[in-house]
């Protein structure tokens, strides 16, 4: 049987962000070429294109250590290459509110034409995105959007729907009187909170027989999920289902129980549809995930920022779809990754 392997999506992001981050860095350094193939010094771009306007865009990513955030940053960089009037610089928030907020402030000071923010903690970033708007710069929040900022646009997915499709499937799959554990994203994060809310309404309220034996924040992080799962396995023994608010945490929990016969039938649910999760579903180790397509998100993000920059639209708030992925349809999504070069055989 052929072995599949994952391309290290985070590698190029890590290299780019390590060059660009440094809180005092500006977009017009030589390193900005690394952030997107079309990214060059704005004045150089303007001279090359004659009188054509070139727009400088900053993307503030949540954290390259998060597999989905790394995938999204890579896709945004690739999509930016399709626009000859956009130069893109990417900065890493390193899953740290202070660092992400500093990056936003630096982007404002550097007078970017547009700043796209993937929040680490929406409420922590809110006042800084408000500053973007106040400075007359186009502001877009994504994955997750920050609601209620007048003058800011958003491109996102519906996190309630993402979890609901899993929860509705789990109603029929999780056995009676099951013991389950729940891995949560960061407290106060819109996606984390809405996904947990969906699981409560769509599953736990309808299945009072199911016992949550452990629940905690793993902050989208695989290592944190592994540490929690190690403790839970010792404390509770056999666990019937792992309910995770994203794939990265689900994969971490799965590493802990890998090869243990008593966990062979443990059901595992996640969100994002990462390449790693798809291979785990294909191998029968993970039950289901909801695709949050970084490909679709990046296309919408760049389309949105371009329409706002050129004045075609003044305000845009839009969502991508929320398809469920199981063993029955996983092959078509694996093929999607193969075509992007993210899974090879």
Say whether both 272 and 304 belong to one domain: no
Say whether both 118 and 171 belong to one domain: no
Structural tokens at position 204: 């736990």
Mean pLDDT in consecutive groups of 10 residues from the start of the chain, 345 residues: 36 39 35 36 42 91 88 95 97 95 98 97 95 98 94 97 98 98 92 97 98 97 97 96 97 97 96 96 98 96 98 96 97 93 83
Which CATH number belongs to the domain containing residue 73 in this structure?
3.40.50.2300
Quick one: pLDDT at residue 121? 87
Domain assignment present for 97:
yes
Quick one: pLDDT at residue 217? 98
Instruction: Give the neighbor-by-neighbor strand order of the sheet with 114-117.
Output: 86-92, 55-61, 114-117, 138-142, 153-156, 317-319
Quick one: pLDDT at residue 51? 63
Q: Is the dihedral of CA 302, 305, 307, 313 positive or negative?
A: positive
Number of neighbours of residue 225 by Cβ within 10 angstroms: 29
Quick one: pLDDT at residue 48? 45
297: exposed, middle or buried (Cβ count in 10 Å: 0-12, 13-18, 19+): buried
Structural tokens at position 286: 């993970």
Say whether both 52 and 173 belong to one domain: no
Q: Identify the CA nearest to 58 among candidates 43, 84, 36, 30.
A: 36
Say whether both 82 and 220 belong to one domain: no
Say whether both 114 and 20 belong to one domain: yes
Domain assignment present for 281:
yes
Residues 214, 198: Cα–Cα separation, whole Å: 18
Say whether both 175 and 132 belong to one domain: no
Residues 273, 343: Cα–Cα separation, whole Å: 13
Q: Tell me which residue range forms the domain holding 178.
A: 159-291
| 8-state DSSP, 246 | S
Quick one: pLDDT at residue 127? 98
Domain assignment present for 110:
yes
Say whether both 21 and 148 belong to one domain: yes
Say whether both 132 and 147 belong to one domain: yes
Say whether both 13 and 143 belong to one domain: yes
Domain assignment present for 331:
no
Say whether both 205 and 218 belong to one domain: yes
Quick one: pLDDT at residue 10? 40
Total structural domains within the chain: 2
DSSP 273-329: --HHHHHHHHTTS--EEEE--HHHHHHHHHHHHHHHHTTS-S--EEE----EE-TTT
Domain assignment present for 338:
no
């Amino acid at each position: 049987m052929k072995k599949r392997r994952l391309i290290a999506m985070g590698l190029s992001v890590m290299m780019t962000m390590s060059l660009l981050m440094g809180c005092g860095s500006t977009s017009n350094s030589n390193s900005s070429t690394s952030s997107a193939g079309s990214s060059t010094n704005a004045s150089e771009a303007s001279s090359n294109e004659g009188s054509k306007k070139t727009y400088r865009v900053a993307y503030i990513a949540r954290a390259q250590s998060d597999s989905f955030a790394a995938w999204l940053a890579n896709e945004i960089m690739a999509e930016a290459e399709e626009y000859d009037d956009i130069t893109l610089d990417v900065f890493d928030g390193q899953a740290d509110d202070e660092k992400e907020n500093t990056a936003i402030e630096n982007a404002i000071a550097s007078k970017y034409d547009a700043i796209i923010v993937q929040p680490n903690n929406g409420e922590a970033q809110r006042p800084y995105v408000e500053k973007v708007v106040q400075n007359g710069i186009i502001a877009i929040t994504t994955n997750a959007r920050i609601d209620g900022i007048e003058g800011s646009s958003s491109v996102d997915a519906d996190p309630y729907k993402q979890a609901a499709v899993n929860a509705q499937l789990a109603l029929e799959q999780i056995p009676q009187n099951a013991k389950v554990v729940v891995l949560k994203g960061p407290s106060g994060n819109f996606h984390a909170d809405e996904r947990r809310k969906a699981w409560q309404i769509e599953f736990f309220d309808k299945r009072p027989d199911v016992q949550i034996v452990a629940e905690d924040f793993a902050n989208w992080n695989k290592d944190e999920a592994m540490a929690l799962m190690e403790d839970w396995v010792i404390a509770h023994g056999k666990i019937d289902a792992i309910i995770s608010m994203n794939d990265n945490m689900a994969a971490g929990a799965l590493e802990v129980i890998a090869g243990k016969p008593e966990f062979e039938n443990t059901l595992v649910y996640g969100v994002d549809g990462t390449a790693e999760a798809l291979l785990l579903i294909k191998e029968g180790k993970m039950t289901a995930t909801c695709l949050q397509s970084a490909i679709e998100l990046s296309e919408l993000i760049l389309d949105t920022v371009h329409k706002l920059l050129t004045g075609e639209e003044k305000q845009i708030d839009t969502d991508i779809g929320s398809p469920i992925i199981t063993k029955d349809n996983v092959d078509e999504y694996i093929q999607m990754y193969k075509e992007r070069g993210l899974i090879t055989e």
